[in-house]
Structure 1
């Protein structure tokens, strides 16, 4: 059995009897300084242990969200009507999707970007409008010619006024003209404006009556509008309440539509036309006309992760546009790539905010305004976007936070064709990986021990040097006295 004396022999910390030790004033001062130093260094080490450092590296994109990328946007066009606004997507692989509507919402807005009603519905996509075959036949003028001087007289004199806003140079206006005039002549014979007056078909030449057409927000030719007596009332913003006709344009269909419009209106009570709500005209051939000339487009599209384009423009398979009158000015409220981080998740991970791209959506809140003039017409506004993915790997809860950042360069380009707003996007094949690094608890304990031991040892050395120096000075002083 090992004796107690043998165990005591391995004691590293042998004790000196208290009556053999001597306290000094210098030792007390060094002890206080050493204790304060230990506390300060311990606090710094604890703060360093609790903080999280990061390391950044650039690696080949290893996206976990598949081959497609989501683009979310909210863009307002003060001078582009929702009636013709189209969102198109294309890429270098040959993908070409036109007039996307499934994930897109459109709202008419006024010049101050304020919405003027409920969501604007464009109706069926891709419908081929039928035209008449009377292009080679002789026909006489059957519709009334309207100007800014007599327009409102006609609109308040007749229960229903159907107007063809056209441009002589427009191909589709030329296709419509013979059918329109023949249908107008038939309707005039059946509903004599002098004796009946319930319906009149008319036309407006927008090259001659530009201000009148702008007042009714005509952007594509021909545009057929249905005005009902009493409903075309201006409100505080000068908006009008009427309908657009999107049906076939042959003579028979036009006549049938006019008959349907006038049928619910009794001859003796045309004053009450507004009160009569029954209208059996098919919804797909007439819908509320845009109340203003602007449109806010919001929603998202999914694109392949290759260079491509997001294009917003005026598009129609049966209308023509005057490029010199098109203005693609816009205000970008929001444009982002990838899946957005949920607010709840973001609030739990505030420490990673400096590393992700919420503050790097370069186009958010910016305006790109083109003022149409003789020297600044046909302007296409292009944005070139370089997109880079950033991933943050957290160590506390082992979550992966990923978001796309982009840089943008914009320009206004003169175009020979119909102006558009174009967003060129190109995704980098590399991604930024930010990794949080947290010190281990054992590293913290080791450093704490090193701090305590190191300060204690250094203080002991200083105390020994100071004490021996003072003793030596005393001996020298005693030697001089003797």
Structure 2
């Protein structure tokens, strides 16, 4: 029984052995074997490299998400605008507006040579003086509670403006233009114009982030404080903004969301030098929602964007162009999904077997062609010389 089973297994042998007495080794066969072995190892290591590294697949789908926010990271340097008068505003199509944003933002003074001077949170400190001006026009007396004047912008009898910022906010709510700020007692106490004079000739680096609604909107950097705004337009500013300003700038970083492998932000490291009269520089951004999933199924929700640029010169008249750098962003209805994938081990082994088998098969065909060609040539030569 055992012998019968053994014989049947021998009959199934797909690799019949040839007696070594019938082997004939040739020089050409050795060359073909050496070359095929080198090719086989090269293809094997190439396949091993593909197995050890991941590939990224890209798919496009319609973005059906609703609501949410956009996280905007920025780092911009203005070499010709002092930190005291540089402010950040943001608004969106839903009507939400934020003027002179200060939270999550750090301003750093920059000297004429581009060196950092000091880092500070935005805002102006109010030094103590003995007798600040009271609401009724007199000076603060001993044990009297301070209530600063709003200079006609009070909303009620007990409305007090105890700082320069509160006076400006009261005027903004009234829709009035605030001129002759040097006559405002609170601004004089806080040294508003003194700081502007001290920072003359300096620049400013502004670094931070904004959290805005995921809708069409804009954010901008302007020299001064916004007084009144209508939807996506400006009507008036503080008097401090009426001069011409050099809005040359360098964008060190601008990103909508977290970094993911392969992310490219087209404005990173981009400088712009103003060579004409004062005006506004506008960036129009198309933001594309992006989801990146790595090989371990960890997901990063972020965004990419494309950009076009335009410079608008100042115009004469009441509605003159406001100097500043403006970013207008819109959202794409298409979402990009990046997915990292790694080759499976079975796929790797299949490719390795295909490499080994295919290389030996092709090498055998080449060797047979060379051997029989040489043999035919020898016979032809022998026949010729008889």
Larger Rg: 1
TM-score by length of 1: 0.55
Counterpart for residue 427 of structure 1 = 331
CA distance in structure 2 between the partners assigned to 1:63 and 1:452 by the alignment: 49
CA distance in structure 2 between the partners assigned to 1:220 and 1:82 by the alignment: 21
Deviations 1:292-339 (CA, angstroms, capped at 9, x unpaired) = 145443322211121111133322769941654141514234342333
CA distance in structure 2 between the partners assigned to 1:108 and 1:220 by the alignment: 26
Deviations 1:371-395 (CA, angstroms, capped at 9, x unpaired) = 6xxxx35x23322222234443322
Change (3 A) 1:327 1:5: same
TM-score by length of 2: 0.67
Counterpart for residue 199 of structure 2 = 292
2:303 is the counterpart of 1:404: yes
2:16 is the counterpart of 1:57: no
Counterpart for residue 387 of structure 1 = 287
CA distance in structure 2 between the partners assigned to 1:335 and 1:478 by the alignment: 80
Counterpart for residue 209 of structure 1 = none
2:9 paired residue among 7, 11, 14: 7
1:250-329 map, 5 Å: 286=190, 289-290=194-195, 291-293=198-200, 294=202, 295-313=204-222, 314-315=224-225, 320-321=238-239, 324-327=242-245, 329=247
Change (3 A) 1:110 1:418: farther
Change (3 A) 1:38 1:123: same
CA distance in structure 2 between the partners assigned to 1:459 and 1:316 by the alignment: 78
The structural deviation recorded for 1:221 is 2.5
CA distance in structure 2 between the partners assigned to 1:123 and 1:333 by the alignment: 29
Counterpart for residue 94 of structure 1 = 95
2:249 is the counterpart of 1:331: yes
Is the 2:75–2:253 contact (alpha carbons within 8 Å) kept by the matching residues of 1? yes
Tell me the number of residue pairs that the alignment of Structure 1 and Structure 2 aligns. Answer: 322
Change (3 A) 1:292 1:18: same
1:367 paired residue among 264, 272, 278: 272
1:17-28 map, 5 Å: 17-28=19-30
CA distance in structure 1 between the partners assigned to 2:378 and 2:109 by the alignment: 98
Is the 2:77–2:206 contact (alpha carbons within 8 Å) kept by the matching residues of 1? yes
The structural deviation recorded for 1:68 is 0.6
1:414 paired residue among 314, 329, 342: 314
CA distance in structure 1 between the partners assigned to 2:269 and 2:294 by the alignment: 28
The structural deviation recorded for 1:77 is 4.1
The structural deviation recorded for 1:433 is 2.7
Long gaps (5+) in structure 1: 134-171, 176-218, 226-243, 248-284, 347-351
Is the 1:390–1:404 contact (alpha carbons within 8 Å) kept by the matching residues of 2? yes
Counterpart for residue 104 of structure 1 = 105
> What SS does the aligned partner of 1:246 have?
helix
Change (3 A) 1:83 1:15: closer
Counterpart for residue 69 of structure 2 = 68
Is the 1:328–1:381 contact (alpha carbons within 8 Å) kept by the matching residues of 2? no
CA distance in structure 1 between the partners assigned to 2:7 and 2:74 by the alignment: 83
Change (3 A) 1:387 1:368: farther
Long gaps (5+) in structure 2: 127-132, 138-149, 153-177, 229-236
The structural deviation recorded for 1:340 is 3.7
CA distance in structure 2 between the partners assigned to 1:386 and 1:109 by the alignment: 31
Counterpart for residue 258 of structure 1 = none
CA distance in structure 1 between the partners assigned to 2:30 and 2:268 by the alignment: 65
